[in-house]
Chains A and B, each alone.
Chain A
């Protein structure tokens, strides 16, 4: 038992020991000396780019990918441009950043996925140095170019290049730099000698770490903790400054007594301690500095990430077992693993479409929330259109099927699926697509068979393409709508002749539609317009655009009785309305004699209460009273009230023994002044009520 401590080595007050967990399976002939190396976090894969042994123009470097235990997963000759930096994304894809700013993406089996460029400035000035970083927004890339300017992309899956502002007075490359994520923004922290700067999207600001040792002349190395919370700076004086990444707080400072900059410097957490520390590595020795006061505890790697990693390594059965064991909800667990499996399956060239489709459907049948369209998309990418269509049929979300169907030029099917989904925006999208793809005749025929799409397209045309809507109605022989179309168009015309000709077209269409009423009404409208113009020319009255009623009103008010009479006859204006018009016009003119004459001319079709009312409206009660005797008994009370004759109203109401009318009169009486009347009415009401 005495040997238990034999393998432990002292490290300050603590002890450590090295245990070999497993042996690396690789055989590296010349170590990692002339290699670019990148290891993915959490024991992910390791990529090496080996420079060729012999330097000759034809010699190419070799790219190798190993698992974390050193098993070879891929190896191939690098044929693209000069690689400046290697890095891994959060989803285990390898990023190879070239000198010219081109970034090539490979999966962990060495299959090429895609590439993109970091922009013109980078092409021009070339990559001086690059870093790959991770944040809640995904994997990002930061580049400093030969012109000492930074270009940043926060998420390579949603590429938005940002060129950071210039650092004032920066003549050469910075001595060291790092990427930070603060306030939901990625920033660059750089050191040039003793000067520290923070670069964000808009500004470059100088910063000073609090309490930095005064002997320092230059900051030569820096590193940021995984969570972006802590920062460590290594200075030319051999000091390690540790503090918060926002440079607001110093946690500690250690003098290492080593002046050469370390080869590598990283934040880590010491075993059985929650306190973060900084580890530095030189050629021959290792140093741990730290003891930050603050404790932190967080879980970076979630189960979700674990499953992802297994899936990227195609370890599907294991992933499924773990999901089941952890009781991960099916949607996020088993279903997702199966989807990845299916995406991989459809790429197996040796199997037939039928066999694959069957295998996929059998295996995925029970799984909930599978996106078949994603799997189909993958099949289509591999050039297997038929397989893709077969797979799409399993997709329960019809909306999801549409974009791929369009891509595969199955537009008719896409239209039915879009309609099925109920999402009108999707229907519009397919319709617009069809419109550009088909000739007009076929396009209209297609719409004809799809009423939902047709109505939507009509709405679209109504706002966007007036001419097309006419063609649509024509093709459908929809004469009613054509008629309305011409009516609408007629109102846009300024010239009367053009307007009349459009209205004539409307009449023709309404006739074809057998809408007799609309045809007649529109014809009437044309007649009115012609009449108005003639009268305007002859009498100089502004009439065009007025309704028939308003035209009559104007004519009567200026005393053009003859043309008014004529309109009344020609347009068969009902007597009642004409009488109303006439007496209102006469009252407006306060032509009381004429009004009285008119009342006596023949029996009024509207009765005589309106006569009372038009007079009262013009504040002429004495004229109004003239007509009360002719008002029918039913309206008498109202007439008396209108002229303010409470006595008369009471009389009439009592005579008619109407409880409602008595109440109406009562409500107009004031208890103070109309005492006697109120009593009479109340008595009358009680006798009426008894009956």
Chain B
């Protein structure tokens, strides 16, 4: 079922099971057959908690997508709306309820709010005159969704935008609530560290909630030693850089949504004998990506340049395993061989899939092109882009208009690519000279359309793009102190986190690393240069719950990225967990898994052009 959640240091399946139990209980509250009407946004995250089979066991017979107008016919006793608490959705629900055919046998209406009930929404339903039509109105507290054995996500796409652009801290409230749930299941976390305004706000809410629920303390031995809350805007640079781990690149190029990726089908054609491979599939190939797949768990966090070797090594092991059959002589040996077959076949198909994916990625990233020159030089673009990124990160010519960016704009390359580069230059230069900034902005508006002035405004508001206010550029100091650039990053056998970006060590993860050893006191200066306060809080434990650490036992830290985290950052944290002398294991939580593209996209405002 969800075995991949149990392998880690912390059994995250407990959280998933708790969520499933709540879901079953709610479904049972609505006795009889049911149809679920889904807020489309929720189906992905729900898939991580429960499959259709669970719903079916509890008499869910039909599923629809929430949309205006009349509900589709379904001969069920209950209609259940699974929705986020949003006013626009309430209006649709009201319309659905009001246009219900009164002549039909009556269906009972129910609402399940995810993750929380909302007085505002119920008020809206009341104004629309339908509040009384609901038999059950309930909430399904789904804040943190177990994503993998060491990874939790709130799957809240707009969190960064809401917090840093719109000053709407709803997602932070849910974060605090989610952390309270975590503490209820895994014990009080005795130490809280944080950096950034949002981190401070979340910590304050947590401490307040703790006071509010004094008396209902859990008597659970703490699983986590430390919680580290990090604002995304403390490290705006990392998500802008192109991730160079295997998983990171899959996400950069194809996008991973709720643990699934859709890939171009050509390379996955089933080679059937006699057909000559003529029938190429046209549907995108959909694959689930998590640590339940042994091979994927092995290679996901490697630098892409080390994946090829890992795959060929695996191929040798698998074919050797298949060769074993020739050595199987006795009935017993053959029986044993046969019993291992399913596992070996699964490994072989997994290997085939990842070899195909690696080929797909290689076509795009590799500087090594086959002699066939056309179509366009995708790999060269990738390589040039990377070169510019690395120049910016090492501080080369960040104060001038960059020719490569200029050329890309002139050729009208995708706007998000341009924005990522310009923002990166701005961040690495602690703001751009007014003249340079205005030049870029003008180039963008003239090329892509004036409507993007709203997007540019947004980027400026969040600090991703800004004019230089002081002549002093902090970035080199930060880079040097935190060793953000490592000249000789070892991609094959890494000895430092910088391998995930082939040289650049993500700032956020460096902060995490320094916190564990030697502590933040050693980098006070740099912390002051980064936005927002840094702090430490302690939550007293009842006597008897103090952990008696065994010699050599690792500490467990929960790192919460407020506003999103990239796969490369996760890879870097996993690398730290595995370091023998590290002494700390990390569990990662976030509002949303992001990459530079999805992140910038969430900040864009593009009005529909009506003319």
Contacts and interface: CB of A to CB of B under 8 A. Distances in A.
Contacts of A452: 167, 169
A491 B201 CA distance: 37
Interface in A346-379: 367-369
A488 interface: yes
Interface in B412-457: 412, 438, 441-443, 445-451, 453-454, 457
Contacts of A517: 438, 441-442
Contact of A548 (B87, B169, B212, B447): B447
Given A396-B211, A487-B453, A522-B450, A664 B367 contact: yes
Interface string A490-504: 011110100100000
21 contacts: A202-B77, A331-B215, A398-B208, A420-B208, A422-B205, A491-B608, A492-B610, A493-B611, A494-B611, A528-B450, A544-B611, A547-B449, A548-B446, A549-B447, A573-B446, A577-B406, A577-B443, A577-B447, A616-B374, A642-B377, A664-B367
A524 B214 CA distance: 61
A480 to B, nearest CB: 8
A484 to B, nearest CB: 6
A491 B609 contact: yes
Contact of A545 (B214, B406, B409, B609): B609
Contacts of A573: 446
Report, nearest first, the 8 A-B pairs whose CB atoms are least far apart: A368-B215, A369-B215, A455-B167, A580-B410, A491-B607, A525-B450, A547-B449, A549-B447
Contacts of B409: 577
B73 to A, nearest CB: 18
A642 B118 CA distance: 61
B610 A494 contact: yes
Given A368-B215, A580-B411, A521 B442 contact: yes
Interface stretch (B64-72, B170-178, B257-265, B520-528): B170-178
A423 interface: yes
Contact of B373 (A518, A581, A616): A616
A451 B167 contact: yes
Given A369-B214, A369-B215, A424 B453 contact: no
A425 B169 contact: no
Given A547-B446, A548-B446, 17 more contacts: A202-B32, A202-B77, A367-B215, A396-B214, A422-B169, A424-B168, A425-B85, A426-B119, A463-B87, A464-B87, A487-B607, A491-B609, A521-B450, A547-B445, A581-B410, A667-B369, A670-B371
A330 B168 CA distance: 37
Given A202-B32, A396-B211, A422-B176, A668 B407 contact: no
B454 A484 contact: yes
Interface in A476-520: 480, 484, 487-488, 491-494, 496, 499, 517-518
Interface in B378-398: 380
A610 B408 CA distance: 12
Contacts of B411: 580, 584
B123 A424 contact: no
Contact of A580 (B77, B119, B374, B407): B407
Nearest to B170: A424
B166 interface: yes
A407 interface: no
Contacts of A491: 451, 607-610
B448 A425 contact: no
Interface residues of B, number: 67
B208 A183 contact: no
Count chain A CB atoms within 10 A of each CB in B212, B448, B608 and give the residue with the most: B212
A427 B557 CA distance: 33
B31 A183 contact: yes
Interface string A567-586: 00001011011001100100
A160 interface: yes
A491 B605 CA distance: 12
A619 interface: yes
B58 to A, nearest CB: 12
A157 B611 CA distance: 57
Nearest to B168: A459
B88 interface: yes
B173 A493 contact: no
Contacts, number: 171
Interface string A543-556: 01111110000000
Nearest to B204: A422
A25 interface: no
Nearest to A481: B457
Contacts of A544: 611
Contacts of A616: 373-374
B211 to A, nearest CB: 5
A18 to B, nearest CB: 45
Contacts of B213: 369
A603 interface: no
A484 B169 CA distance: 23
Given A522-B453, A573-B446, A584-B411, A617 B169 contact: no
B453 A330 contact: no
B116 interface: yes
Contacts of A184: 28, 31
B135 interface: yes
Interface in B574-611: 605, 607-611
B331 interface: no
Contacts of B118: 425, 428
B120 interface: yes
A429 interface: yes
B143 to A, nearest CB: 13
Contacts of A425: 85, 116-120, 170
Contacts of A518: 453, 457
A524 B444 CA distance: 13
Contacts of B274: none
Contacts of A487: 451, 453-454, 607
Interface string A398-434: 1000000000000000000000111111101100100
B342 interface: no
Contacts of A432: 120, 123
B470 interface: no
B173 A423 contact: yes
Nearest to B113: A425
Contacts of B116: 425
Nearest to A160: B135
A124 interface: no
Interface string A163-190: 0000000000000000000011100000
A644 interface: yes
Contacts of A397: 212
Interface in B166-192: 166-170, 172-173, 176
B349 interface: no
A606 B406 CA distance: 10
A154 B167 CA distance: 45
Nearest to A331: B215
A204 interface: no
Contact of B166 (A455, A547, A606): A455
Interface in B91-126: 116-120, 123
Contacts of B446: 524, 547-549, 571, 573, 577
Contacts of A463: 87-88
B320 interface: no
Contacts of A492: 607-608, 610
A139 interface: no
A440 B360 CA distance: 60
B1 interface: no
A606 B407 contact: yes
B332 interface: no
A521 B441 contact: yes
B330 interface: no
A644 B412 contact: no
Contact of B454 (A423, A464, A488, A610): A488
Contacts of A67: none
Nearest to B406: A576
